[in-house]
Amino acid sequence: MSFSHIKEQPRAVKTLKGFLSSGKIPSAMLFLGPDGIGKTLAAEAFAQALICRQPQQYLACGLCAECRALTQKIHPDVKMVNANYQASLRSEEPAKQKTLRVETIRRLRNDMELQPLAGGWKVAIVEQAHTLETEGANALLKILEEPPRQTLWILTACRKERLPKTVVSRCFVIPFTPLAENTVKELLIEKNISPDRAESLARLSEGSVGQALELAELSSYEPANPLSPFAAADALPKELFLARTQVELALHRLSQTLRLRHLRGQLSFSRVERPLRELRGLGRALKSNADPRLILTLGYLEAEPLL
What dihedral do alpha carbons 231, 234, 240, 245 form, nearest 10°?
A: -20
Size of the site for Zn ion (CB under 5 A): 5
Separation in Å, CA 31 to CA 170, 217, 218, 246: 13, 26, 28, 25
Cβ 58 to Zn ion shortest distance, Å: 12
Beta strands (DSSP E) in the chain are 28-32, 78-81, 122-126, 151-157, 172-175
Backbone angles phi, psi at 77, to 5 degrees: -100, 0
CB-nearer residue toward Zn ion: 67 or 286:
67
Q: Answer yes or no whether residue 89 interacts with Zn ion by CB under 5 A.
A: no
CB-nearer residue toward Zn ion: 58 or 172:
58
Find the part of the chain contacting Zn ion (CB under 5 A) among 15-23, 63-71, 159-167, 220-228.
63-71
195-205 b/e (C-beta count within 10 Å ≥ 16 → b) = eeebbbbbbbb
CB-nearer residue toward Zn ion: 43 or 60:
60
Cβ 22 to Zn ion shortest distance, Å: 20
CB-nearer residue toward Zn ion: 64 or 294:
64
Which residues, numbered 3-62, are part of the site for Zn ion (CB under 5 A)?
Answer: 52, 60-61
CA dist., res. 222 & res. 98, Å (int)? 20
Element (H, E) at 260: helix 240-263
Identified binder of Zn ion from the candidate list 25, 59, 64, 294, rule CB under 5 A: 64
Cβ 112 to Zn ion shortest distance, Å: 22
Cβ 203 to Zn ion shortest distance, Å: 39
The per-residue DSSP string of 219-256 comes to S----S--S-HHHHHHTS-SSHHHHHHHHHHHHHHHHH
Q: Answer yes or no whether residue 144 interacts with Zn ion by CB under 5 A.
A: no
Cβ 68 to Zn ion shortest distance, Å: 8
Cβ 193 to Zn ion shortest distance, Å: 31
Tell how strand 122-126 and strand 28-32 pair up. Answer: unpaired
Cβ 49 to Zn ion shortest distance, Å: 9
Q: Answer yes or no whether residue 67 interacts with Zn ion by CB under 5 A.
A: yes
The runs of H, that is alpha helices, within 23-128 are 39-51, 65-71, 83-90, 102-113
Interacting residues with Zn ion (CB under 5 A) = 52, 60-61, 64, 67
